Amino acid sequence: GTTAGAYDDWHEGQDPAGITTQDPELMKRFDPVEGGRRLKNYLKVMTLEAQTIARACGKNHLHNLEPEDLCAVTMEAAAMAQVPLAGTNWYPGKPGSGY
């Protein structure tokens, strides 16, 4: 995590992590090789988690997931994603639902 407001300066070219900055001093903070390793690890873990979710839905491949396999666990998530709230076939704003 980061402190609140830590990345508010991206649009000013003052990214404190040195990734999007043009400031040579800030650029020294970013190691592209280590950044690449971290990105690779993040994508690998996200893939493994998505595969686990697919298996939990009874699918043998991630590509076999369908919209009907999705459900939301909060009202906000249901409204934003327009997928049914868990245990129902309703989501806020569903056409014809009267809500």
Residue 57 domain boundaries: 10-66
- 88 inside domain: no
Highest mean pLDDT among 20-24, 31-35, 43-47: 43-47
Averaged confidence pLDDT in the chain: 85
The total of structural domains in the chain comes to 1
Residues contacting residue 17 through CB under 8 Å, at least 6 positions apart: 7, 29, 30
Number of other residues whose CB lies within 10 A of the CB of residue 1: 4
Could you tell me if residue 5 is inside a domain? no
Asked whether residue 94 is assigned to any structural domain, the reply reads: no
Quick: pLDDT tens for 38-79: 999 999 999 999 999 999 999 999 999 998 888 999 999 999
Instruction: Give pLDDT, residue 5.
Output: 65
Within a domain: 99: no
Please tell me whether the overall predicted TM-score, pTM, comes out greater than 0.85 for this model.
no
In a domain, 83, yes or no: no
